[in-house]
Structure 1
């Protein structure tokens, strides 16, 4: 059985192969809905999209074992990768992916959309670097 290690919570759990990361985290007492840099975590625990991939509060950074996560689907790509409208560029589309300022573009996922295929290490509620170099680039 695959083992998922939650770094911030210092918790390690065994899960069945093909299990949903968000559901397994919640079963283990880990809150995947951390909010913005931890702010709103207690509220987001109850006020979220319940696994539909629409709210983005269950984002996680997969530190190790990205190859053991399911491929990113349309819902996740829409939420994390596609350009967001901004008034800055002509036509209203900014060429920067929606969450590029996070600095973890290749490893950031929505836990509600991840199916576990093997061992992985996960950081829940990765901090947003709103003032880093990637935010304004």
Structure 2
């Protein structure tokens, strides 16, 4: 089972698990500020679950790519939407500041 490291915690999940669900199930603060209340609940339309990931995850899908191509996100930045990402191997996750996690200062990392 893959190991996920995020916000000072390490936990395992099944191969192919949805990253958003895994993080929330393990009490990781995935959303910044009011995004905890105002988010799309995993359908990939809001972009507030954007994170940086090091490790083996699924390829970027169309919904992820399209949402991160719109402001305030920058498509050139190496972020992913947790709700659209499947965990395939061991990963480390970092969340940045800003309502959508689009900032440059880490809110938390491993």
State if a TM-score over 0.5 links the two structures.
Answer: yes
Structure 1 segments of 4 or more deviating over 6 A? none
What are structure 2's unaligned runs of at least 5 residues? Answer: 98-102, 105-110
Q: Distance in 2 between matches of 1:29 and 1:115?
A: 18
Secondary structure at the counterpart of residue 12 of structure 1 = strand
Q: Count residues with an aligned counterpart.
A: 99
Q: Distance in 2 between matches of 1:57 and 1:80?
A: 10
TM-score (norm 1): 0.66
Which structure has the highest strand share of the two?
2
The CA deviation string for residues 63-102 of structure 1, in whole angstroms up to 9 with x for no partner, is x21xx11111110111113x66xxxxxxxxxxxx9515xx
Aligned residue number for residue 120 of structure 1: 91
**Correspondence for 1:27 among 25, 31, 38:** 25
Secondary structure at the counterpart of residue 30 of structure 1 = coil
What are structure 1's unaligned runs of at least 5 residues? Answer: 35-39, 85-96, 130-137
Return the offset for 1:46: 2.4
Aligned residue number for residue 74 of structure 2: 99
Q: Distance in 1 between matches of 2:13 and 2:73?
A: 31
